[in-house]
Amino acid sequence: MFFLEITTCFSNILIGFQIINGFAINIHSFQVLMKMWIVLLLLSVCSETVICYSDGKVEVACGDMTPQHGHEPITKNPPFNITTDKSQFSPGDKIKVTLSMASSSEGKHYFKGFLIEARNAGNLNEIVGSFKLIDPEISQLLTCDSKEGSAVSHTGKSHKTEVQVIWVAPSDSPSSVQFLVTVAQGYKEYWVKSPGPVVSQNGVAPPPQTTFGGSIGAQTTTSSILSRSFTSEGCGSMKSCLRDPEGCDPQNDTACHFLSFRALGSSVMFELSGPAEGYVSFALSQDKWMGKDDVYLCIRDTDRVEIKAAYVSGRTHPVYSSQNILKDTAWRLSDGVIQCSFRRDIILPPENLNRFSLDQIYYLFMAHGRAEDGRTHRHDRQPLISTYQTKITGPPEDLIGSRSPLLMKYHGAFMLIAWTSTVSAGVIMARYFKPNWPERNILGQKVWFQLHRMLMALTVLLTLVGFVLPFMYRGGWSKRAGIHPYLGCVVMALAVIQPVMALFRPAPDASRRYIFNWMHFGTGTAAQVVAVVTIFLGIHQQALSLPAPWSTGVLAAIVVWFVLADLVLEVHQRGFLPIVLAIYLCGNLGFLTVLLWTISAV
């Protein structure tokens, strides 16, 4: 509804321009175009990318065979069987392996995902042999441990009751081989590394088999429930804290996003709190860009909270750790606030490759978002990032942070100054002071023209710098900003066209001068309207999310203030021009100062 009102507002502005200048514009076409823009914007905002492994490309799980679902595997006897058509083999032999639902299984009578591997029965860390497919519609080969075809997984999330594959014994096969399988019936329902049958070379007695059921190496963590809320007491003196809003107390403020940490001997105790529908999280990062970060999440799952360690390699879904590295985990749910605490050793064993040592300095990220069935989605807002790096085991500090990167703040400020201040002053100067200062000159040119040209050149310069900054920050095109960057490109193009067109303008008394006048007016008006619409969309982007709704109101007030000044100047073209201009500039500067201050504060 808000955007439809904005569309109507700008339509009315254009109608005003028609009346004032006799310039005909097809308002209906403009409204249709604007509504198309709005639909595209809403579609882009509502859409999101969820990275999962429904396509079976699960090489990341080759080692521990654990799905990256962030839940504990089921350890009770699984409702499926894995069998082979031979128990003895020679190198080069082919053995048919069948994974099927047990006839006596209760509940779901199907599975969706699976991962089958063959391993040395004497050393279950060694993958042995290769597979061939029987039905490539539902199964595919994977490359694990640099061995092509050494594992088999699903191709989609269709319901399956049976899968058959062929295992080929290698020439250097160990004396006995055991088949292992991971099976998923749903995102939260899966069995990991369930042991299957053991096959042995001819003449070799098979070793004792692991009972079928449960998981090899499955680990679980039991969390306790916090008896009371966290508090900001001791921040900066007993523990380090990062808070948003700055100085808030999670004990009294349910809107407080809170992270604290303090060293306890050879470990560090963390406390994390914040209002969220699905999860709250923080990350340790070596820079201010998401990627290659050590992440910790507290994920709400119905009426409990799961506390996870993870790693993100880029702007991707987190990969959860299969190792239990968190101690003394505890959680609390109250009034829509998720709270959790845990300890983590400062130095971890070498096998924890993606865990950072806590005796180093890092930037801290805090984020929150939605979760469905324990699966996290992209964070709702731009993460809060600490202003500077801090040593996790260092002396207590009361840290500050921002949700808006500095480059994006400059981007917003430059665009606001250009398209709500300098351009409007330049338009007023050319439209109303041209006939009133006909004989006054500066450096050989009319005063109004020099001021108009200076203001418009400043507008183009600010737009050009502001246009480049998001690309510097993102390192390329933003795929999550909706229609905003596309409109920005239109504004940049129109801003460049205007001065180029002016360079080739005909003489004032030329017979075709009126063509240039209408083209110059039309291009400038289009640039101004599209720019303001783009700013309305931009002030609530994640990278520069100004507080709503009052920031939107202030921006709307700037637009209305310009329209009112334009109408007054049109009616009173003599005598009152300097007074009206002075009043307009004071009001415009006041509104602009409020928005610039807001940008600096986010």
pLDDT averaged per 10 residues, the chain (length 602):
36 38 39 44 37 64 80 79 90 93 74 93 89 93 90 91 94 92 88 89 69 41 81 95 94 95 95 94 91 92 87 82 85 93 92 88 95 78 91 95 89 94 91 73 77 93 95 83 91 94 88 90 93 91 80 92 89 75 92 91 79
97 vs 199: CA distance, rounded Å: 11
Q: Return the DSSP state at 387.
A: S
Closest CA to 389 of 361, 347, 428: 361
User: Quick check: bond before 245 cis, omega within 30?
Assistant: yes
- What 319-323 contacts at long range (C-beta under 8 Å, 24+ apart), as own/partner pairs, is 319/60, 319/68, 319/354, 320/68, 320/69, 320/70, 321/352, 321/354, 321/355, 322/64, 322/66, 322/219, 323/219, 323/351, 323/352
pLDDT at position 448 is 81
Q: Return the DSSP state at 130.
A: E
pLDDT at position 56 is 64
252 vs 232: CA distance, rounded Å: 10
Beta bridge partners, 127, equal: 119
pLDDT at position 105 is 61
Tell me the two tokens of residue 292: 């290659």
How are beta strands 326-334 and 224-225 bridged, if at all?
parallel
Residue 420 amino acid letter: T
Encode burial over 335-368: b for 16+ CB neighbours within 10 A, e otherwise: eebbbbbbbbbbebeeebebbbebeeebbbbbbb
- Kind and range of the H or E run holding 30: helix 27-46
128 vs 179: CA distance, rounded Å: 10
pLDDT at position 208 is 57
Beta strands in 475-577 (DSSP E): 540-541, 544-545
pLDDT at position 353 is 77
The strand order across the sheet containing 267-275 reads: 224-225, 326-334, 337-345, 267-275, 257-264, 240-244, 398-399
Q: Are 392 and 268 in contact (CB under 8 A)?
A: yes
pLDDT at position 37 is 47
